[in-house]
A and B are shown apart, each in its own frame.
Chain A
């Protein structure tokens, strides 16, 4: 595909359940990012991968959140014991890290609702 894709587009779960959110970056992009956007806010950084490794995970709010990128392409964001406050749109972005601005290209997001 031409752009970043994310699945599912919507996820409704119950408090305490486990969820996985998937991101397929643009082919060849070495950098992958996860952000979270709550209503009325801008995207908030969660984690950044350079290849397979997490280069910066300082934005993960607590140890219930975890992300992997085992082969340096697809990434999965995992949330354990979900809480109502986890409800948000989870955005994934990728970048080639080429050029000065190294702009990040975003997917459409996964809207997570925790009941």
Chain B
């Protein structure tokens, strides 16, 4: 039973265009959602987060939108750059029982073409 789903295994966009990565979740108890970026042979790197009480958070070229009623969030990257090519993971944190564990989706591989 996957609590965090990234239904698109891959996405390809042109440099300068917008990249939109999507994520769905099933557990209403998640309090924070985080996006991580991963290059091959490296650990995931934190990118941006959003609290469950917000609907938007922006940091430079990266914006995350949260639609709680639809249990859906998306990461927008604009303008996309070739260096953004990586695997992006959506993660959710639930603090039930005092745990800080993150639940990850399977990831979306983004390719930005020059």
**CB within 8 Å of B: which residues of A?**
4, 31, 33, 35, 40-45, 48, 55-56, 58-59, 91, 93, 95, 97, 100-109
Assess whether B45 is interfacial by the CB under 8 Å rule. yes
- Interface segment out of the listed B68-76, B77-85, B92-100: B92-100
Contacts of A33 in B (CB 8 A): 100-102
Known contacts A101-B32, A103-B34; decide if A43 and B100 are in contact (CB<8 Å).
no
With A and B bound together, what is the CA distance between A91 and B89 in angstroms? 14
B100 CB to closest chain A CB (Å) equals 6
Give the number of residues in B that approach A within 8 Å (Cβ atoms): 27
How many whole Å from A61's CB to the nearest CB in chain B? 15
Q: Is there a chain A Cβ closer than 8 Å to B66's Cβ?
A: no
Q: How far is the CA of A5 from the CA of B3 in the complex (A)?
A: 29
A39 to chain B, nearest CB (A): 11
Given the contacts A42-B106, A44-B104, A58 and B99 also touching, CB distance less than 8 Å: yes
Interface residues of B in 25-81 (CB under 8 A from A): 32, 34, 36, 41-46, 49, 51
Q: Please tell me if the beta carbons of B44 and A106 are within 8 angstroms of each other in the complex.
A: yes
Q: How far is the CA of A41 from the CA of B93 in the complex (A)?
A: 18
Bound form: Cα–Cα A93–B34 in Å: 14
> Once the chains are docked, how many angstroms separate the CA of A42 from the CA of B98?
22
Complex CA gap A93/B43 in Å reads: 9
How far does the alpha carbon of A4 sit from the alpha carbon of B34 in the complex, in Å? 19
* Nearest A residue (CB) for B38: A106
How far does the alpha carbon of A35 sit from the alpha carbon of B104 in the complex, in Å?
10
Contact call B102/A106, Cβ cutoff below 8 A: no
Q: Which residues of B contact A103 (CB under 8 A)?
A: 34, 46, 49
